[in-house]
Amino acid sequence: MQGLQKIREDWNRIAAEETEMLHQMSLAQGLRTFELLYESFASRFKDEEESTMAERERMLIERQRRLASLAEWLEANPNESFTNL
């Protein structure tokens, strides 16, 4: 258990140092850091976007189908009300 406590303390120390370094960074340095990180991860972002696009489209189609079904139900039952939405 002491090992976990040590890891937490070290992690908190590192986070504090990181925050201090970010506060000391100029706008130009921050933008350059962002640019370097973006360049490093850009291909990964693109791959992830492509791999999740089909799933997002499927979910959107399902939501549209459910909304159309709800609209039909509301039209067929104009006197019903929702209280648990």
State pLDDT tens for residues 47-80.
Answer: 777 778 888 889 999 999 999 998 888 888 888 7
| Residue 85 CA: distances (Å) to CA of 20, 66, 81, 82 | 45, 15, 10, 6
- pLDDT at position 12, please? 93
Quote the CA–CA distance of 9 and 84 in Å, as a whole number.
45
Q: Could you tell me the residue range of the domain that residue 57 belongs to?
A: 2-76
The answer to the question of residue 19 being in a domain is: yes
- pLDDT at position 66, please? 93
The answer to the question of residue 37 being in a domain is: yes
The answer to the question of residue 47 being in a domain is: yes
The alpha carbon of 46 is separated from its chain's Cα centroid by a whole number of angstroms, namely: 15
The answer to the question of residue 27 being in a domain is: yes
The answer to the question of residue 39 being in a domain is: yes
The answer to the question of residue 62 being in a domain is: yes
Is the pLDDT at 30 greater than 70? The verdict is yes
The count of domains in the chain is 1
* Spatial CB neighbours of 74, under 8 Å, sequence gap ≥ 6: 80
pTM over 0.85: no
Q: Which residues of 59-76 are buried (b: 16+ CB within 10 A; e: fewer)?
A: eeeeeeeeeeeeeeeeee
The answer to the question of residue 81 being in a domain is: no
The answer to the question of residue 49 being in a domain is: yes
Closest CA to 10 of 33, 20, 2, 23: 2
- pLDDT at position 82, please? 63
